[in-house]
C-alpha cells in the first residue's frame, strides 16, 4: 500500500488535517504540538475503521495505491454523538462505542464501487439489503474482489512502537504466543512476512528456523554497533534468574554477545537504544511488501552513534515500503535529504503540511537545514498563510 493523499477532520474537537500528500519516505518536522503525531494517529484510526470500528465525529478523504494498477479513493463521515457522563466511583466517561456513518464512498481508478447515504448502500450501482450503519463499507465488503486489495492494504499499516527491553511484559510475549507454534507454523520467509505476528515474534522465528534474513539483520546490527559480535535466543543463565517469574525461566530470551565479554548479555541488560535499533531493523527486513510504517519521534532512545546509520538503512532499503516518520531532532533532520521533509504547522485547529519545494530552501542539504530552523513557521509552529 502507498498512501497518496489524506485529509481528516475530527468534528468533536474541531481539529483537521488539511490535504497532505505523501511520498515513499516522509519526515514530518516542526515544533512540538503542531499535529505531527496526530497525522499518524489519523492514519492508524482509518485502519481501525476498515477493521470495523467506529470513530465518533470523524470525517476523512484518502487516496492510496494497493496492488498493481489499483488506485483507490475513499471518503466518509461518522455522525457526532456526545459521550454520556457516568459518575461512578472512578468518574469514567462512556464514549459512544458505535456511531452511524452519514455517508461513504469508495472508488477504484475513478469508478464508484460502493456508495452509502443514511438511507441506502449501493454496490456497483445496485441497492443492497439493509447493512450495519456503524460499519464501514470496506469492512462490510472486504471479501469482494475489487475491495479485498484495499482492505489488505490497510491491514499492512504498521505503527512502530518502542518496548522497554527490561520490562517483564517485553519478555513475556513469547510465552503468551507459544514459541513451538510460531516455529512450526512459519517455515518460509514469505509466509512469515505476510503474517500478522508482531515484529519480535518474527525475529524469533527467523532465528529458530535459520532463515538467511536473520544473518542480514544481525550483520547490519553489528555494523551499527561494532562492539556486538553475535545475537541469539536462549533461556536465561542461572546468574540472570533473580526476580524473573518462574514461567520465564525456560523460555528463550534475546541475548547479545559483546567483544571481550565471556557471558551473553540478556535482553534485560540491553540498552533501550540498542533494542529499539534492532526492532527497527527487524521491521525493515520482516514487514510484508506494501507496508506503511509509522514511526513517532524517531529519535527516542537512539544515541548519536546509531541515529545516522539507522536512518541511512531506512532510506536505502530495497523494499516496497512507505515510511511516515516524525521528528524534531536537528541531527535527524540534517541527515535526511530535504526532498523528504514535510513542515507541519498549525493555525488554530487546522494542521498544514508543506514540502521543502514550497519553502524555497537552499539547494544543498546544509543550507536547507539552516534555512528551515530559522523559519518562523518552524520555530513557532504557527501557519502564516
CA distance 65 to 349: 29
Asked whether residue 72 carries a pLDDT value surpassing 50, the answer given is yes
Say how many C-beta atoms besides its own lie within 10 A of residue 73's C-beta: 18
**Tally of CA atoms within 13 A in the half-sphere of 107 that contains its CB:** 10
Q: What is the pTM of this model?
A: 0.92
Q: H/E element holding 324? A: strand 321-326
- Is the separation of the CB atoms in 208 and 200 below 8 Å? no
- Is the separation of the CB atoms in 26 and 39 below 8 Å? no
Q: H/E element holding 20? A: strand 15-21
User: What is the DSSP pairing of strand 121-123 with strand 253-258?
Assistant: unpaired
Q: H/E element holding 76? A: strand 71-78
Crossing angle of helices 36-50/148-155, nearest 10°?
A: 140
Give per-residue pLDDT as tens, 125-165: 999 999 999 999 999 999 999 999 999 999 999 999 877 77
End-to-end alpha-carbon separation of the chain, Å? Answer: 32
Residue 245's pLDDT band, with cuts at 50, 70 and 90, is low
Asked whether residue 242 carries a pLDDT value surpassing 80, the answer given is no
Q: What is the mean pLDDT of the chain?
A: 90
Which letter, b or e, does each residue of 1-38 get, where b requires 16 or more Cβ atoms within 10 Å of its Cβ?
bbbeebbbbbebeebbbeebebbebbbbbbbeebbbbb
Q: Among 113, 17, 103, 27, which residue's Cα sits nearest to residue 66?
A: 113
Task: Tell me what the mean pLDDT of segment 245-256 comes to.
Answer: 77
Question: Which whole-number Å values give the CA distances from 248 to 32, 240, 256, 257, 271, in the listed order?
Answer: 40, 11, 18, 21, 20
- Is the separation of the CB atoms in 79 and 58 below 8 Å? no
Asked whether residue 87 carries a pLDDT value surpassing 60, the answer given is no
Q: Could you tell me which residues are beta bridge partners of residue 8?
A: 17, 60
Task: Tell me what the mean pLDDT of segment 334-348 comes to.
Answer: 92
Give per-residue pLDDT as tens, 180-239: 899 999 999 999 999 999 899 999 999 999 999 999 999 999 999 999 999 999 987 766
CA distance 137 to 117: 11
Identify the pLDDT of residue 385: 64
Identify the pLDDT of residue 334: 86
How far does Cα 361 stand from its chain's mean position? Answer: 29
Per mean pLDDT, which range of 35-44, 173-182, 346-355 is the poorest?
173-182
Asked whether residue 306 carries a pLDDT value surpassing 90, the answer given is no
Amino acid at each position: 500500500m502507498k498512501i497518496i493523499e489524506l485529509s481528516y477532520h475530527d468534528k468533536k474537537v474541531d481539529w483537521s488535517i488539511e490535504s497532505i500528500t505523501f511520498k515513499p519516505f516522509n519526515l514530518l518536522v516542526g515544533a512540538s504540538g503542531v499535529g505531527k503525531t496526530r497525522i499518524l494517529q489519523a492514519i492508524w484510526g482509518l485502519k481501525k475503521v476498515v477493521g470495523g470500528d467506529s470513530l465518533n465525529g470523524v470525517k476523512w478523504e484518502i487516496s492510496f495505491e494497493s496492488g498493481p494498477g489499483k488506485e483507490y479513493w475513499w471518503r466518509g463521515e461518522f455522525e457526532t454523538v456526545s459521550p454520556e457522563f457516568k459518575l461512578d466511583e472512578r468518574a469514567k466517561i462512556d464514549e459512544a462505542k458505535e456511531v452511524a456513518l452519514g455517508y461513504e464512498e469508495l472508488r477504484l481508478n475513478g469508478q464508484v464501487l460502493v456508495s452509502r447515504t443514511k438511507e441506502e448502500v449501493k454496490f456497483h450501482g445496485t441497492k443492497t439489503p439493509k447493512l450495519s450503519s456503524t460499519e464501514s463499507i470496506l469492512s462490510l465488503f472486504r471479501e469482494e474482489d475489487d475491495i479485498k486489495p484495499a482492505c489488505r492494504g490497510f491491514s499492512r499499516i504498521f505503527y512502530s512502537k518502542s518496548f522497554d527491553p527490561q520490562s517483564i511484559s517485553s519478555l513475556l510475549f513469547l510465552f503468551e504466543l507459544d514459541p513451538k507454534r510460531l516455529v512450526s507454523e512459519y517455515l518460509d520467509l514469505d509466509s512469515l512476512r505476510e503474517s500478522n505476528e508482531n515484529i519480535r515474534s518474527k525475529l524469533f522465528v527467523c532465528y529458530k528456523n535459520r532463515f538467511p534474513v536473520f544473518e542480514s539483520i544481525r550483520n547490519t546490527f553489528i555494523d551499527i554497533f561494532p562492539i556486538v559480535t553475535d545475537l541469539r535466543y536462549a533461556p536465561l543463565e542461572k546468574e540472570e534468574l533473580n526476580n524473573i517469574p518462574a514461567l520465564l525461566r525456560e523460555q528463550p530470551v534475546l541475548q547479545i554477545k559483546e567483544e571481550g565479554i565471556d557471558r551473553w548479555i540478556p535482553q534485560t541488560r540491553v540498552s533501550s537504544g540498542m533494542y529499539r535499533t534492532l526492532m527497527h531493523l527487524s521491521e525493515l527486513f520482516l514487514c510484508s511488501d506494501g507496508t506503511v510504517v509509522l514511526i513517532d519521534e524517531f529519535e527516542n532512545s537512539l544515541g548519536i552513534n546509531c541515529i545516522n546509520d539507522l536512518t541511512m538503512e531506512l532510506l536505502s532499503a530495497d523494499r516496497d515500503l512507505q515510511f511516515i516518520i516524525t521528528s524534531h531532532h536537528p541531527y535527524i533532520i540534517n541527515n535526511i535529504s530535504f526532498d523528504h521533509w514535510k513542515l507541519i504547522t498549525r493555525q488554530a485547529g487546522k494542521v498544514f503540511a508543506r514540502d521543502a519545494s514550497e519553502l524555497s530552501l537552499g539547494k544543498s542539504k546544509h543550507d536547507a537545514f539552516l534555512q528551515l530552523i530559522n523559519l518562523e513557521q518552524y520555530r513557532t509552529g504557527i501557519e502564516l498563510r
